[in-house]
Amino acid sequence: MELFEAIKTRRSIGKVKDDPIPEELIRQIIEAATWAPCHHRTEPWRFTVLAGDGRDKLRDALVASLKTSMDDPETDENKQRLEKISKQPYRAPVIIVTAIEPAENDKVIREEEFAAGHAAVQNMLLAAHALGLGAVWRTGKPLYTRTMSEAFGLSEKGSVTGFIYIGYPDMTPPPAKRKPVDEITQWYS
């Protein structure tokens, strides 16, 4: 697949088949992430691959994280919210948890570590697309809790940055539209 075609045709694929994904494809996706740019060559990204029963780890982390924001997890409304979030990890056969461990270096700016991690995610999404897989990068409030970071073994400074759900596509995404370049760009000569 040609680069510009891949960039323009990649879409978030939220509905995938339950078919298993060969480990070699997941390794290729993660390797693509490691070629993202990063200031000071810190390579701050970290990845956790969840498949099969391994997805229970994310289920437990999501439930625990959401509970920390609830005054009373035992209300009917909160029980429904917890039940709903507990099903999320089973929407795809593989989930890659993406995270950042900022470097211990005074020259390194924390925001740049996150920028590198987000660039790595984009590489992963493009690689999945090029390999014929569907993927979607999910985030949300439970992601940014200390409970979630601890669930995936991150330091006090580390942070989960998203969940990439991966599988063989079971949907055809609608065509995307983008603003014209001239509408979002200023040129000075």
Residues making up the binding site for FMN: 10-12, 39, 137-139
Residues of the binding site: 10-12, 39, 137-139
Residue that the structure tokens 């200031």 belong to:
39
Question: What is the chain's alpha carbon radius of gyration, rounded to the nearest angstrom?
Answer: 18
Stated as kind and residue range, the H or E segment containing 48 is strand 45-51
**Euclidean distance between CA atoms 17 and 130, whole angstroms:** 17
Sheet hosting strand 159-167, strand order edge to edge: 45-51, 94-100, 159-167, 134-138
* Three-point CA angle 134, 87, 171, nearest 5°: 25
Pairing of strands 45-51, 134-138: unpaired
State phi, psi for 147 to the nearest 5 degrees.
Answer: -55, -45
**Euclidean distance between CA atoms 55 and 98, whole angstroms:** 14
Q: State the amino acid at position 181 in one-letter form.
A: V
**Euclidean distance between CA atoms 133 and 73, whole angstroms:** 37
